[in-house]
Amino acid sequence: MDTQWPLISAIVPTYNREEPLRDSIADLLAQDYPHLEIIVVDQTRTHTPEIAAYLSDMASSEKIRLFRVTWASLPGARNYAVRRAQGEIILFIDDDVKLPPDFLKAHARNYLEKPAVGAVAGRVFDRMKLSDSGGNLTIQDLPPEAMDPGIAWYYIDLVHTVKPQQVLSVRGCNMSFRRAIFSEHGLQFDERFRGSAVREESDFCLRLRQTGYQIWYDPEAHLVHLGEETGGCHDISTRSLQYQITFYHNHFFMGLKNLTPNQSRRFFARLFDCHVLGNPPCYKTPSLRHAIVRFSFYTLGFLSALITLIQANANDGQIYSWRDELSQNQ
Identity of residue 1 = M
Asked if 40 and 67 touch (Cβ cutoff 8 Å), the reply is yes
DSSP tally for the chain: helices H, then strands E: 11, 9
- Backbone φ and ψ of 41, nearest 5°: -105, 110
Say if residue 117's pLDDT is above 70: yes
Which CATH number among 3.30.390.30, 3.90.550.10, 3.40.30.10, 3.40.50.410 corresponds to the domain 8-232? 3.90.550.10
Q: How much is the pTM?
A: 0.93
State the DSSP string of 251-275: HHHHHHHH--HHHHHHHHHHHIIII
pLDDT digits (tens, 9 = 90+) for 85-104: 999 999 999 999 999 999 99
Q: Which of 123, 124, 120, 92 is nearest to 225 (CA)?
A: 124
**Mean pLDDT across 42-48:** 96
Across 113-117, 124-128, 189-193, least confident range: 124-128
**What is the per-residue pLDDT across 311-321, written as a single tens digit (0 to 9) for each?**
876 666 788 87
pLDDT tens digits, 249-279 = 999 999 999 999 999 999 999 999 999 999 9
202 contacts 119 by C-beta, under 8 angstroms: no
Per-residue pLDDT tens digits for 20-35: 999 999 999 999 999 9
Report how far residue 8's alpha carbon sits from residue 28's, in angstroms, rounded to the nearest whole number.
Answer: 11
Q: Is the dihedral of CA 138, 134, 244, 200 positive or negative?
A: negative
Alpha helices in 61-153 (DSSP H): 74-82, 103-113, 127-133
Are the C-beta atoms of 170 and 119 separated by less than 8 Å?
yes
Is the pLDDT confidence value at 141 over 60? yes
Domain ranges of the chain: 8-232, 235-314
Overall average pLDDT of the 55-66 stretch:
98
Average pLDDT, the chain: 92
Higher pLDDT, 233 or 173: 173
pLDDT at residue 1, rounded to an integer: 43
